[in-house]
Structure 1
Amino acid sequence: MLFEIRGFRFCSSARMLAALVFILLCIQPGHGQVCTEGFAYDRRARQCIDVDECRTLPDACRGDMRCVNQNGGYLCIPRSLYNQPYRPETPVLPEPVYPDPSAGFSDTFLPAAPRSVEPSYPRVRSTAQCLLGYAPAEDGTCNDIDECETNSHHCNPTQVCINTSGGYTCSCTEGFWLIGGQCQDIDECRYGYCQQLCANVPGSYSCSCNPGFILNPDSRTCQDVDECEDEPCSHGCFNTYGSFMCNCDEGFELASDGTSCIDLDECSFSEFLCQHRCVNTPGSFSCICPPGYYVYEDGRSCEDINECDTGNNTCTTAQVCFNFQGGYTCLNPLQCHPPYIEVSDNQCMCSAENPACRDKPFTILYRHMDLSSGRSVPADIFQMQATTRYPGAFYIFQIKSGNDGREFYMRQTSNVSATLVLSRPIKGPKEVVLDLEMVTVNNVINFRGSSIIRLTIFVSEHPF
C-alpha cells in the first residue's frame, strides 16, 4: 500500500501505520548467518550488508519519483526535491498534508506520517550465532526479540512501539501525526471533514449538524429534516432546506409564533364591504340585511323584498298592498269627501255645475311612490303634464302644500309639463304627502281652473 506526503512516497504494509516498516523476515543461508529483509550476507566481510533496492528492483519508483537507497530499505523522492540535502541518518520530514476535502470524504483516516527510525539491528561484524535483535533458542535457531513486550525499545511516551523482525519501529496511533519525533493530534476540523459542525478531540473528531438537519450514517454529512412530518403548523406546512414555513387558509393570518393561524376580521378592513352590516366568521365573513330585504346574489348587496308579490303581507282583500323599499303599506279604498265624488279607483272630481265646487280643484288624482333615504340630490323623481289641452290656454305647475321643509321644487319642462325635483336629501323612515297643482289659464274665455295630484312619498329607513 502506498502513501504520499508532500511528494514522498513510502512502501509499507497495509497493517502498519508507520511510513517505513520492515516486512517479512528474509533468511539467506550462509555459514549459519541470517539477515533481515533489505540486507544480504557478505561472505567476505562475514556480515549483513545493505541491499541497494534502487539497482536490484526493476521500476522501484514510478512516475516522476527517484529512488534513494536507505539502510535496510529505500525511499521514492520527487526529482524536484532530489537535489535538496538529504541525510538518511537524521532526516527531517516535511509537514504532512491532508487530502483535499472537496474530493469527498474517505471512510478511514490517513495513517500517521512516517518517521525515519534508525534500525535496531546494527551491522554485525562478529561471528556470533544470532544477529542483534534475535536470541538463540534451545533448538539452535534464532528467535526474534519483541522489544515492545520487553520494554527494551526507545520510543518516547507519545509514540507506539511496533515490533518488527529483528527490531522495532515507533509510530503514532490513528488520528496523530509524527512531527519532530512527537505524536501530535490531527485537527480534522481544519480540513473540512464535517459538512457542517465539527468538534476536534484528541486522536479523532466529532461531527454534528445545524438545527433542521440530522447526521447521516456516515457520521460526517448532514441531511435535511422534513419538519412537516410532525405537523407543526395549525394549517399548512411547507418544508424548506434546514427549516419549514407555515401558511394559513384563506381568511386567516399567521400568528406571531409562526405556526398557528388566527382569524382575520374582514369586516374591519372596510365599511363598504357589505351594503348594510358585516358579520365576521371564522376564516370569512357574511353580510346581513335589515328586515324587508334579502342578500343579493353577490353576497353583499341588499335587495328589497316585495311583500305584495310574495303574499307575505297583512293587507285585507279590500285594501291595496303597496310595496316600497324595505317594507309595504296597505292602502284603504279611496274615499272622496263631499263635494267630491269618486270617478275611478284613484280619482275624485268636483263638478263645475256644483256651486260648492267653486274655487276648488276640479279633480284630485291620488298617486304613491317610494324614495330611498338620503338619496343624492338633485334628482328628478316625478313628472306631471296636462292630459286635456284647450286652444289659447297655458298651464302653471306648482307645489300647493306639503313642502314645509322645502325639499322639493317644480321645474317646468314644457308649456304642458313639469318635473318634481328633490333638492335636499330626506332621511327616513318618513311619509311625505305633496299636493302638486296644475293651473289652467285661458284669457280668451276668461277661464282659470286647477287640478291636483296628491302624491304620497314613502321614504325608506335605509339608503337602498
Structure 2
Amino acid sequence: MQECPYQLLCIPDVDECRTLPDACRGDMHCVNQNGGYLCLPRSLYNQPYRPDTPALPNPVYQDPSAGFPDTFLPAVPGGGGGRGGVEPSYPRVRSTAQCILGYTLAEDGTCNDIDECETNSHHCNPTQVCINTSGGYTCSCTEGYWLIGGQCQDIDECRYGYCQQLCANAPGSYSCSCNPGFILNPDSRTCQDVDECEDEPCSHGCFNTYGSFMCNCDEGFELAADGTTCIDLDECSFSEFLCQHRCVNTPGSFSCICPPGYYVFEDGRSCEDFNECDTGNNTCTTAQVCFNFQGGYTCLDPLQCRPPYVEVSDNQCMCSAENPACRDKAFTILYRHMDLSSGRSVPADIFQMQATTRYPGAFYIFQIKSGNDGREFYMRQTSNVSATLVLSRPIKGPKQVVLDLEMVTVNNVINFRGSSIIRLTIFVSEHPF
C-alpha cells in the first residue's frame, strides 16, 4: 500500500487503465500503478521475466495528478537486482539491441537520443504538447491550459481574479481592461485612476475623483445639464426684492439701478435720494428757494401775499383785525412744505400743529379746511392746544397736495372767535423710497 506523506488524507488508488479511455495509444500496454500508470510496448510486456536480464529502459509513467507524464525510475528495495531482491512492479525483458529504449545506434557506435516529438513517434494527446527528454518524452499543456482527464482544457483566468477590474477570457489566455476613468498599468492587470482634469473638461473649475471628475462653477454661475459647462445665474429672477428699484443681470453677478434723482447706496441695493439743493445741482435762481424732496426738487418763488394780507416774514402773511376786509378771514397764513413717499403705509402721523399763543378761557379747534378732496387725511387732536395730521390712505405719486390746516380759537369770556391757517404743500414722490 502506498504511504501518505505529510500526514495527508489518502484515497484508494484509481485504476487509470480502466477509467481513462485509451490511456495508452498505439502499440502500448497500460499497467496500473499506485498513484499513476505505465505505458509499455506490448512486444516487451509479453516476454517472460528473467532475473539476469538487464534493466528495462525508463518506461513512460503517467501521473494524472501532476498534469503531464513524467519519467519513472523504479527503486529496488535492498539495493540489489538479483534473485534475492524484490521483483519490480513491471516485467524485465531481454533486448538484443545495443542501445536502450529511447536511443538509436549511430554510425560511430554511440547511442543517440530519439526525439519522439520531432519524429512524431510520441503518444501525446492531440491537445497536449510533446516535450522531448533523454530517452523519452513528456506530455504537457501549453500555458493557459491544464490537464483534466487526459485533455488540456482552457484555464478561465477571469474566474480567479487575474484582473483588477474587467477581464475577458480567451482560449489559453485572457485580457484585462479598465472601467471608464481608469487606464491599464504596464503590468496589464491593474488599473490606475485617470486625472481627467488635466484635459480641462470643465468650463470653470475641475475636481478629480477616483474614476471620474466633478465640475464646479464660479460664483454667479450654475452647472448646465451636461455637467461640464457653466451658465450664468440670473439672480434678478430669484426675487423682486433683490434691488430696491430695478435689477440688471450681468455675467456672474447683477447690479441695481436707481431712478433719476437717486443714487445706489453703499449696500449696492438701496436707493438714496440725491439732494440737489445741497449739491447745487439744481436750476433755481438766486431769488428762489430750492426745496428738495424724495427723487427730485422744486424751486419756490418768493412769497407774495394776496391783499388784504401783508407779508410779515418770508413764509407768513397776516390780515390785520383792524382792516374791515379781514373780517371772516384767517388772521395769519403760514406756508409750510414737506415731502412724502409714494404709497407710504398708513395710518401715519405726518405733521403736527399747535397754538403758540394761549389766552385765558380760550380753547382751540383743529380741522382741515381745504385740500382733502380724496379724504386721505384727518386731524387728530392730541391736547387742548395741539393736533396731528394723519395720513389715512396711501397716496401714489408723483403728486402735489395743498392742505389748509385751520386752528380755530374760541374765547366765550370775551366773545372772541378767530382762526389761523397753515398752508401745507406736500410733494408726493414717484417712487416708494
Q: TM-score range by the shorter chain?
A: 0.7 to 0.9
- For the residue of structure 2 that corresponds to 1:308, the secondary structure is helix
- Give CA deviations for 1:379-428 in whole Å, capped at 9, x if unaligned: 10000000011111111111111111111111111110000001111100
Q: How far has the Cα of 1:80 moved from its partner? A: 39
- For the residue of structure 1 that corresponds to 2:158, the secondary structure is helix
Q: 2:73 aligns with which of 79, 89, 110?
A: 110
Structure 2: gaps (5+ residues): 1-5, 78-84
- Give CA deviations for 1:198-224 in whole Å, capped at 9, x if unaligned: 111111101111111111100011111
Compared CA separation, residues 24 and 437, structure 1 to 2 (3 A): closer
Does structure 2 conserve the Cα–Cα contact (< 8 Å) formed by 1:121 and 1:132? no
Does structure 1 conserve the Cα–Cα contact (< 8 Å) formed by 2:368 and 2:378? yes
Q: How far has the Cα of 1:357 moved from its partner? A: 1.1
- For the residue of structure 2 that corresponds to 1:169, the secondary structure is strand
Does structure 2 conserve the Cα–Cα contact (< 8 Å) formed by 1:112 and 1:175? no
Q: How far has the Cα of 1:192 moved from its partner? A: 0.9
Compared CA separation, residues 435 and 56, structure 1 to 2 (3 A): closer
Moved more, 388-397 or 70-79: 70-79
Moved more, 184-193 or 129-138: 129-138
- Give CA deviations for 1:123-169 in whole Å, capped at 9, x if unaligned: 55335321011112223221111111111111121111111111111
- Give CA deviations for 1:247-276 in whole Å, capped at 9, x if unaligned: 111111111111101111111111111111
Identity of matched residues, %: 94
Residues in 2 aligned to 1:112 and 1:262: alpha-carbon distance in whole angstroms: 87
Residues in 2 aligned to 1:420 and 1:302: alpha-carbon distance in whole angstroms: 28
Residues in 2 aligned to 1:419 and 1:222: alpha-carbon distance in whole angstroms: 85
Residues in 2 aligned to 1:460 and 1:86: alpha-carbon distance in whole angstroms: 135
Q: 1:289 aligns with which of 258, 283, 301?
A: 258
- For the residue of structure 2 that corresponds to 1:414, the secondary structure is coil
Q: How far has the Cα of 1:65 moved from its partner? A: 32
Q: How far has the Cα of 1:89 moved from its partner? A: 24
Compared CA separation, residues 330 and 277, structure 1 to 2 (3 A): same
- Give CA deviations for 1:16-73 in whole Å, capped at 9, x if unaligned: xxxxxx999999xxxxxxxxxxxxxxxxxxxxxx999999999999999999998999
Moved more, 414-423 or 53-62: 53-62
Compared CA separation, residues 370 and 141, structure 1 to 2 (3 A): same
Compared CA separation, residues 214 and 349, structure 1 to 2 (3 A): same
Does structure 1 conserve the Cα–Cα contact (< 8 Å) formed by 2:61 and 2:71? no
The reply to whether residue 335 of structure 1 matches residue 298 of structure 2 is no
- For the residue of structure 2 that corresponds to 1:98, the secondary structure is strand
Does structure 1 conserve the Cα–Cα contact (< 8 Å) formed by 2:69 and 2:140? no
Task: Name the structure 1 match of 2:57.
Answer: 94
Compared CA separation, residues 398 and 96, structure 1 to 2 (3 A): farther
Does structure 1 conserve the Cα–Cα contact (< 8 Å) formed by 2:342 and 2:428? yes
Does structure 1 conserve the Cα–Cα contact (< 8 Å) formed by 2:69 and 2:139? no
Q: How far has the Cα of 1:87 moved from its partner? A: 24
Compared CA separation, residues 87 and 219, structure 1 to 2 (3 A): farther
Does structure 2 conserve the Cα–Cα contact (< 8 Å) formed by 1:121 and 1:167? no
- What do you get for the CA RMSD once the two structures are aligned? 10.8
Compared CA separation, residues 230 and 79, structure 1 to 2 (3 A): farther
Q: How far has the Cα of 1:93 moved from its partner? A: 26
Does structure 2 conserve the Cα–Cα contact (< 8 Å) formed by 1:120 and 1:166? no
Compared CA separation, residues 357 and 109, structure 1 to 2 (3 A): farther
Does structure 2 conserve the Cα–Cα contact (< 8 Å) formed by 1:121 and 1:166? no
Q: How far has the Cα of 1:315 moved from its partner? A: 0.4
Compared CA separation, residues 334 and 52, structure 1 to 2 (3 A): closer
Compared CA separation, residues 173 and 95, structure 1 to 2 (3 A): farther
Compared CA separation, residues 455 and 235, structure 1 to 2 (3 A): same
- Give CA deviations for 1:277-316 in whole Å, capped at 9, x if unaligned: 1111111111111100111111111110000001110000
Moved more, 131-140 or 377-386: 131-140
Residues in 2 aligned to 1:391 and 1:314: alpha-carbon distance in whole angstroms: 49
Does structure 2 conserve the Cα–Cα contact (< 8 Å) formed by 1:148 and 1:162? yes
Residues in 2 aligned to 1:321 and 1:207: alpha-carbon distance in whole angstroms: 88
- For the residue of structure 2 that corresponds to 1:449, the secondary structure is strand
- For the residue of structure 2 that corresponds to 1:405, the secondary structure is coil
Residues in 2 aligned to 1:92 and 1:265: alpha-carbon distance in whole angstroms: 100
Moved more, 50-59 or 157-166: 50-59
Does structure 2 conserve the Cα–Cα contact (< 8 Å) formed by 1:398 and 1:438? yes
Residues in 2 aligned to 1:319 and 1:166: alpha-carbon distance in whole angstroms: 134
Residues in 2 aligned to 1:109 and 1:359: alpha-carbon distance in whole angstroms: 151
Does structure 2 conserve the Cα–Cα contact (< 8 Å) formed by 1:368 and 1:456? yes
Does structure 1 conserve the Cα–Cα contact (< 8 Å) formed by 2:330 and 2:419? yes
Residues in 2 aligned to 1:216 and 1:146: alpha-carbon distance in whole angstroms: 42
Residues in 2 aligned to 1:84 and 1:107: alpha-carbon distance in whole angstroms: 25
Does structure 2 conserve the Cα–Cα contact (< 8 Å) formed by 1:113 and 1:178? no
Compared CA separation, residues 266 and 87, structure 1 to 2 (3 A): farther
Residues in 1 aligned to 2:73 and 2:177: alpha-carbon distance in whole angstroms: 21
Structure 1: gaps (5+ residues): 1-21, 28-49
Residues in 2 aligned to 1:269 and 1:73: alpha-carbon distance in whole angstroms: 86
- What TM-score do the two structures reach when normalised by structure 1? 0.74
Does structure 2 conserve the Cα–Cα contact (< 8 Å) formed by 1:408 and 1:424? yes
Compared CA separation, residues 58 and 267, structure 1 to 2 (3 A): closer
Compared CA separation, residues 98 and 434, structure 1 to 2 (3 A): farther
Residues in 2 aligned to 1:138 and 1:152: alpha-carbon distance in whole angstroms: 22
Compared CA separation, residues 307 and 275, structure 1 to 2 (3 A): same
Runs of 4+ in 1 over 3 A off after TM superposition: 22-27, 50-114, 116-124
Q: How far has the Cα of 1:341 moved from its partner? A: 0.9
The reply to whether residue 236 of structure 1 matches residue 199 of structure 2 is no
Does structure 1 conserve the Cα–Cα contact (< 8 Å) formed by 2:62 and 2:68? no
Q: 1:57 aligns with which of 20, 31, 42?
A: 20
Q: How far has the Cα of 1:110 moved from its partner? A: 26
- For the residue of structure 2 that corresponds to 1:334, the secondary structure is coil
Q: How far has the Cα of 1:361 moved from its partner? A: 0.8
Compared CA separation, residues 138 and 59, structure 1 to 2 (3 A): closer
Residues in 2 aligned to 1:446 and 1:80: alpha-carbon distance in whole angstroms: 169
Does structure 2 conserve the Cα–Cα contact (< 8 Å) formed by 1:120 and 1:168? no
How many residue pairs get aligned? The number is: 420
Residues in 1 aligned to 2:56 and 2:143: alpha-carbon distance in whole angstroms: 19
The reply to whether residue 415 of structure 1 matches residue 401 of structure 2 is no
Residues in 1 aligned to 2:71 and 2:294: alpha-carbon distance in whole angstroms: 89
Does structure 2 conserve the Cα–Cα contact (< 8 Å) formed by 1:117 and 1:169? no
